Amino acid sequence: MLDINQVALFFLILARLSAFLVTAPLFSMSNIPGIVKIGLALLISLITFPIIYLSIPNYSIDGWNYVFALVREVLVGLALGFVANLVLSALMFTGNLIDMQIGFFMSLIFDPVASAMSGIISRFIYLLGLAVLFAFDGHHMILAAIVRSFEVVPLNSAVVTGNAAMHLIKTFAQAISIGVQIAAPIIAVMLIIDVTLGLLARTAPQINVFMLGFPIKIIFGLITLSIMVPVLVRIIYSLCGVIEEDIVILLKGMT
């Protein structure tokens, strides 16, 4: 028979998993029904509970400390999901840079998948990243990482350290750096086009360079992007391993 202490332990597990699914890539998409997310969190918690209970069979509720423990587990789950989602955020940032350079940035609309304003290219790259994660079992890897987190950081033992905070800052900076590096080829092509159009405007002032530049940038931008797609898939695949590595490093910083 389950006693109150076992139920309390189960809700601690559920708190971390639920918070993680709120911010984790793939699972945090707004078009996934809430009942599905709740059911998935409950299912993983039920599977994980016997393993964790064997490691701390004598867990007991201690008044207000249990409330603080719930809050702590929620914060741990949110932090892990935020770090895991930074890879897709980097892809969205890449798409926004490309949209801005090509001229699609004026066509921003709300993307229900990413829950943010995005352009045509940013939506394409974001969906490509999701497809690659699914194709290479990235969703299984993410779930395995959150389950493993209970081994690295046991329940109600996470602490905020300088290493954890520094890793969050470095991971955020790394996401921006990755986004700029991926968009660099198209930015370079657009820079060459801008210089060429500038020289053309000086030699032939009667030509409306501003209107001429729009179709030229779109054409060459899409051509460059089509050439980049195979390389982009490989880059996203390599980033799948970075997600798990970042989660593990953050967990070690919480011990």
pLDDT in tens, 190-230: 888 888 888 887 887 777 777 777 888 888 888 888 888 88
Which carries the bigger pLDDT value, residue 109 or residue 37? 37
Q: Are 127 and 111 in contact (CB under 8 A)?
A: no
Q: Name the nearest CA neighbour of 110 among 31, 43, 210, 4.
A: 31
The residues pairing with 109 across neighbouring beta strands, listed in sequence order, are: 118
Alpha-carbon span 251 to 153, nearest angstrom: 6
Q: Show Cβ contacts of residue 201 under 8 Å, excluding neighbours closer than 6 positions.
A: 207, 209
Q: Are 15 and 77 in contact (CB under 8 A)?
A: yes
Residue 100 lies in domain: 4-253
Q: Answer yes or no: is pLDDT of 117 > 70.
A: no
Please give the structure tokens belonging to residue 100.
């801005």
pLDDT tier, 86 (very low <50, low <70, confident <90, very high otherwise): confident
- Say what the pTM is: 0.78
Instruction: Return the DSSP state at 105.
Output: G
pLDDT of residue 106: 67
pLDDT tier, 61 (very low <50, low <70, confident <90, very high otherwise): low
pLDDT digits (tens, 9 = 90+) for 169-181: 887 888 888 888 8
Instruction: Please write down the long-range contacts of 17-21, taking CB distance under 8 Å and 24 or more positions apart.
Output: 17/41, 17/44, 17/45, 17/48, 17/77, 17/146, 18/74, 18/77, 19/73, 19/74, 19/75, 19/76, 19/77, 19/78, 19/81, 20/77, 20/78, 20/80, 20/81, 20/84, 20/146, 21/77, 21/81
Arithmetic mean of pLDDT, 60-87 = 81
Arithmetic mean of pLDDT, 51-64 = 69
Instruction: Please write down the long-range contacts of 251-255, taking CB distance under 8 Å and 24 or more positions apart.
Output: 251/80, 251/149, 251/152, 251/153, 252/152, 252/163, 253/161, 253/163, 253/164, 253/165, 253/166, 253/167, 254/76, 254/153, 254/158, 254/159, 254/160, 254/161, 254/164, 255/152, 255/153, 255/157, 255/158, 255/159
pLDDT tier, 116 (very low <50, low <70, confident <90, very high otherwise): low
- Count of structural domains, the chain: 1
Tell me the percentage of the chain whose pLDDT exceeds 90. Answer: 0
Q: Are 127 and 113 in contact (CB under 8 A)?
A: yes
Q: What is the dihedral angle through the alpha carbons of 93, 97, 99, 101, rounded to the nearest 10 degrees?
A: 180
